[in-house]
Structure 1
């Protein structure tokens, strides 16, 4: 029973334009299934993950089953959703002609799981020598990307789709949000923090000193130094051995380059024709703003030419990927593309 001077909130009609669902007491539900399917299609297709020579692009929704709704009961928002999704992908390996096709399955995108608890199962339909590498990338980098995108869906469902479910009242009252796990938090705090991927705020943090290292590699090619120099640096040849046209490529001192769909980028610092090129070089996975200092030199060995690559200021955490980048892109793929033999030092 209400105290003297107070009314039961179920029967208090405030002075408001619509007078609907006063004080948000009654249960209201909003079907989010159609909206969710469109959101998931936008978030899970057209994205890609890459590592080393491999680029994996998610191209279309193979199947999507489930439903979603946003509900208001006694000024509490309750979100219910459960999805099983299959997304097809195409994996391309630089220097390798055939594509790998497959799909992932997301079996447990639901209100019972946080974004980082979502499972990603990979099926590769094309047979080839790079299957294990693709599967490894999907199990780590690919899974993280999918979890991040699913996190965005959950966030959008709770912040954007739910607008209008809790109607404004004349008196300011704290609003309580209830998720499928019955977690209750303040709405403002919820909108600011819930379901945000741990990766979403990395760039907001100040840059820290990078622990670096150095490495050098050398390979031999059965061509003259002037020919090798052209094979490595001329734009039309770069497009061939990298298996993709450079997004940006200005081969001059101070000129910039971007290869492999932006996975490799940098700037040419010093160019000595048919001899040596010094450049700032980075992988996309390097810490923000960090470049390795790289020198690429061609050395005449009479019956062959050596390609000597020395890199300093390489982030230790990215050393293996950097080695793969040079040994595969600049050496293995170069030799295979132009049919010149090479030997590893």
Structure 2
């Protein structure tokens, strides 16, 4: 006899997805390509040469848990503004759940240059060290969700697998009506599941950029310009109620209001197992231009308690460092 979902999902189950994960890294990381500040400068991941480690998805007590710790080795190529081809390798000793989801440590990057050194070659090598990590970490951040989206249904006994431990819904079987009772006038009563309240707080980060408010507004909302600083695909139509997607799907939401060169209000949800399912915060970005710079204030209301430090690091690392990487310059 099959166990009911509430019981079946309580026990520990495991699925090894190492082969799938290796293919995911080989496919997704080779889509990364960044542009330099000079015309013609470009750097790309040409090949994933090694993915060494185990990748698993676990399920216990209706929670899906990603379990992985991999060493990843890459080959990268680039072209200088003078047209010189540059090649090198990069090894990241640890890409793990603990780094991506728990923030227990930081990434380590071991670089090598296989092209003979010169002024132009060394400049491109320095550019790779500065900008590739942001693009890689943005892509890595989507890996846990990709595991769950692809394999979660194989472990959870439910038509609607849970990411955050919500018990699977009941079977929906109705109770027979008492003898003589009328059944024609009353519709079946659905049992509503009360949504668990989430305690939240606000994270605020400020920075000064050497750019006009109008230019920054465009960089934040223009679909064609967003990838310049995120180094990842984006979707954005700068209109209220329009959906947007940043960092290759790592952040999603809707625009609430847009005041050109002054303010952007948008819902904001991190696509990560650590972010509560179906929960959205509200990000208000204010732009205040002075004579030689623009002060930008990122205020995120609705951050789950306990994630404040993680989210602050994300804003500083992805938004502020992203602008810095394209030469705007900042003062925190």
Report if aligned partners of 1:122, 1:135 keep a CA contact under 8 Å in 2. no
Report if aligned partners of 1:94, 1:242 keep a CA contact under 8 Å in 2. no
Shift of residue 57, structure 1, vs aligned partner? 3.5
Provide the rounded CA distance (Å) in 1 between the counterparts of 2:276 and 2:56: 32
Report if aligned partners of 2:236, 2:244 keep a CA contact under 8 Å in 1. yes
Provide the rounded CA distance (Å) in 1 between the counterparts of 2:150 and 2:259: 45
Provide the rounded CA distance (Å) in 1 between the counterparts of 2:66 and 2:213: 52
The reply on whether 1:221 has 2:209 as its aligned counterpart is yes
The reply on whether 1:333 has 2:322 as its aligned counterpart is yes
- Describe the SS at the equivalent of 1:239: helix
Shift of residue 317, structure 1, vs aligned partner? 3.6
Q: CA separation of 1:108/1:203 partners in 2, compared to 1, >3 Å: closer, same or farther?
A: closer
Shift of residue 268, structure 1, vs aligned partner? 0.9
- Describe the SS at the equivalent of 1:103: strand
How is 1:200-279 mapped onto 2 (pairs within 5 angstroms)?
A: 202=166, 204=168, 206=193, 207-246=195-234, 248-279=235-266
Report if aligned partners of 1:283, 1:322 keep a CA contact under 8 Å in 2. no
Q: Structure 1, unaligned stretches of length 5 or more?
A: 1-38, 49-55, 61-88, 110-115, 156-190
| 1:300-335 CA-partner distances (Å, limit 9, x unpaired) | 121111111111111124323322332222211122
- Describe the SS at the equivalent of 1:289: coil
Larger radius of gyration: 1
Provide the rounded CA distance (Å) in 2 between the counterparts of 1:58 and 1:218: 34
- Describe the SS at the equivalent of 1:322: helix
How is 1:143-154 mapped onto 2 (pairs within 5 angstroms)?
A: none
| 1:147-171 CA-partner distances (Å, limit 9, x unpaired) | 9988977x7xxxxxxxxxxxxxxxx
Cross-structure match for 2:308: 319
How is 1:114-133 mapped onto 2 (pairs within 5 angstroms)?
A: 122-126=70-74
Q: CA separation of 1:343/1:94 partners in 2, compared to 1, >3 Å: closer, same or farther?
A: farther
Shift of residue 106, structure 1, vs aligned partner? 3.8
Report if aligned partners of 1:239, 1:245 keep a CA contact under 8 Å in 2. yes
Cross-structure match for 2:39: none
- Describe the SS at the equivalent of 1:226: helix
Q: CA RMSD in A?
A: 4.5
Shift of residue 234, structure 1, vs aligned partner? 1.6
The reply on whether 1:297 has 2:286 as its aligned counterpart is yes
- Describe the SS at the equivalent of 2:318: helix
Q: Structure 2, unaligned stretches of length 5 or more?
A: 1-14, 36-42, 58-63, 75-88, 103-140, 170-192
| 1:148-204 CA-partner distances (Å, limit 9, x unpaired) | 988977x7xxxxxxxxxxxxxxxxxxxxxxxxxxxxxxxxxxx969xxx99596474
Cross-structure match for 2:297: 308
Provide the rounded CA distance (Å) in 2 between the counterparts of 1:130 and 1:322: 23
| 1:67-97 CA-partner distances (Å, limit 9, x unpaired) | xxxxxxxxxxxxxxxxxxxxxx849889795
- Describe the SS at the equivalent of 1:218: strand
How is 1:11-90 mapped onto 2 (pairs within 5 angstroms)?
A: 44=18, 57-59=24-26, 90=29
Report if aligned partners of 2:73, 2:91 keep a CA contact under 8 Å in 1. no
Shift of residue 224, structure 1, vs aligned partner? 1.7
The reply on whether 1:280 has 2:228 as its aligned counterpart is no
The reply on whether 1:137 has 2:124 as its aligned counterpart is no
Report if aligned partners of 1:211, 1:316 keep a CA contact under 8 Å in 2. yes
